[in-house]
Structure 1
Amino acid sequence: MQNQPGQKQAGQTTASDAAPPDWLPGLLAGERTALARAITAVENETAEAAAVLQGIRSRLGHALVVGFTGAPGAGKSTLVSAYVAELRRRDLSVGVVAVDPSSPLTGGAILGDRIRMGQHAGDPGVFIRSLASRGHLGGLSRTAARVIDVFDASGRDVVVVETVGTGQSEVEIAEIADVRVVVNAPGLGDDVQAIKAGILEIADILVVNKSDLPFAERSARQLAAMSAQRGPNDSRGPVPVLQTSATSGKGVPELADAVAAMGKRKRPDPRARTRRLLQNLVLDRLRRGLAELPTADIDVLADAVLAGRSDIDAALLKLTELLVSRLPQQK
C-alpha cells in the first residue's frame, strides 16, 4: 500500500522519534568537538541530524549572520579572513561557512578549511567549515542554512557565510544572511550594468576590494552612483560603499563597523533560513521526481503540443499533476 502524503515511510527518521545524541549538551555549551560532530551530522543528513535540529531550535536567533558574495576574483576569501581577524580583535566568537565547488569524484569540497584562512587554525574563537556546493547553482549548498543554525545554537556571536562566487545566481544569500556584503574588484567598467540587476541590488554594504589597484576610486564612485538610484519603494536608501585592501588590512575596521551598525538595525531571522531550506528541499524533490518520470510519459505530452492538441500551459499542468502524484512514493 502506498504511503499517503505526510505519512512517514519505513526507515525514515523524524525529529520526534530520534534520540538526542549524548554530545548535544556539549554543542549547546559551545564545545568544538560537539560542534564539529553536529555540523557533520547535519551536512550529511545522518540519523542524528533530526535530533540535533530538534534540540537546538529554542537556541536560535543569537548570532548575526553576515554573507559575503560577489564575482570570482574579487578577493572574497582574503577579505573574509581579514574581517574575521578584526572580529577576534573585538573579542567576538566566529563561525565561518565557506561554500566551495564540489569535487566531481567525491562530491566533497575541493578547497578545504585548512587551505582557507590558515591564520585562524589555532584560534579557539574561530571555527571554519568548508561545505561542498554539490552542484547547487545558487551559491549555497542545500544544508548551509542548517549549518548556520548549528553555529548559532553553539553560541557564536557572528556567523560568516562566503559563497562560491557564481555571479547573479547568488541572490539567494539574501534569504539567509542578516547583513549582505557584496565584494567587487576595481575596474568594473561596463560590467556594472550586467551586475546591476543581480547581486548588486541585494547588497546592504558594497565593497571595492584590492583598493590599492588602479581604478578602485572610480569603481567606488560608480557603485555609489548606482546605489543612489534605488527605487522609491526601497526603504534602505543608498548603500554604503567602502574600499578595502584585505592584504594590508586597510578599510577592514570600517567594514566591521558598518556591518555591526547594519546588524543593530536588523533582527536576526532564523525563520528565513528555514524558509530557504524548505524551498531547496522541494526543488530537490521535484528534480529527482522529474528525472525518474518515464520518458514515454513526457513524450505523450510533447507530441500533443507538437500536433496542436494541447498548448504548453495545459501540458505543463498535466506534467506537474503527474509528477506530484508520484512524489509520495519517493523517499
Structure 2
Amino acid sequence: MLFTLKWLILKIVCCYGSNGSGAEEPVHILAYYASWGPAKSQELEKVLSSIREGRYTRAKEMLFKLRNLDMPLKFEDVCNIAGNGVAPGRVHVARAMIKAGYVDNLRQAFSRYLYDGGPAYATGSEPAGETVVQLICRTGGIAVLAHPWALKNPVPAIKDLKAAGLHGIEAYRSDGKLSGLSDLADTYELLKLGGSDYHGRDDKEEPDIGSVDLPVLAFFKFLEVAQPIWRNAMMENFANTIERIPDLNGSKGCRRTSSGNDFCSMCLSSPELEETDDSQIEILQMVFSDIILSNRSCKTHIEQRAEITSRLH
C-alpha cells in the first residue's frame, strides 16, 4: 500500500575527507522526508542552524577575499539578493558581482573566482558527510548523495557514506541517462535516483526543475525503502505528541473520546503532524479504533503510554 506521494527534500552541504588524505571537499547530501517532516526535529534543526550560521560567516569571508581582489561588495546587498531569512551562498555572491559589474554572468563568476579552491572561495562550518547521513537516518529520512560524479574520488566517499547509512546516490544525470557510477550503486546496494540539480543560475544550459526522466522502477524502489522508514518516523512523532497532550498527562482526569477518530484528531492537532496525509490518518484511526477513554476509566500516564506505544510498534 502506498502511504503518500508527497515528501520534503532538504539539501545539506557537508564535507568529506578520505582517511589519511588530509584534504576535504564539499559533498551534497539530500534528505528525503515524508510530508509530515522528520522525527527528532529539534536535533535536525540544531544542526541546520549551525550550518546556516556558518554560511553567513563564509559569505563574509568570500567578500573579504573579493575586496582584496579590488572587487568590494556590501554584505547587506548579498543578503538582500539571498532574500529574507535565507543564508547567502556562492550564487548570491555571484549575483552581487554581476550587479556591481565585476563579471558578465554567473558562469564567469564561478569559473574565475568562486569555484572550489578559487581565489574568492571560502569554506563554512560544514559537518562531516558521515555525520549528516547518520543524522538523516536518526530523524526518519532517506539519505542520498547528490551528483557523486562531481567528486574528485567518489569511490571511497560512497563506500564510507554507505557504512554510515547512506540509502542511495544520484545515478541518473539531468538528461535521464545513467552515469558511470551505476555499477558502484549496485555493488553497495544503493538506490539509484536523479535530479536536475537546479540552482536558479539563469544559465541556458541549466536543466529545469523536475526535468529528469527517472524510470518508474527506480521510483518504486525508492518508495519501497522509504515507506517503512517514514512510517516509523510518523509513529515516533505521534507517540511524542501524546506525551505532550495535557488531557492525557494530567492527573485530574481524561478527556472523553469515543473513537479512534477522536483520539487521532486530538493528537494530530500538534504542529509537527499538521501536514499528515489523509491516507496516514486513516491508518492511525484503524490502529486506535478500539481505544475509548472516559472519566470513569482513567489510567495513569505510565499505563496510557505503555498501551499506546505498544500499538504504535
TM-score, reference length from structure 1: 0.30
Structure number with higher relative contact order (C-alpha < 8 Å, ≥ 6 residues apart):
1
TM-score, reference length from structure 2: 0.32
Whichever of the two has the greater Rg, that structure is 2
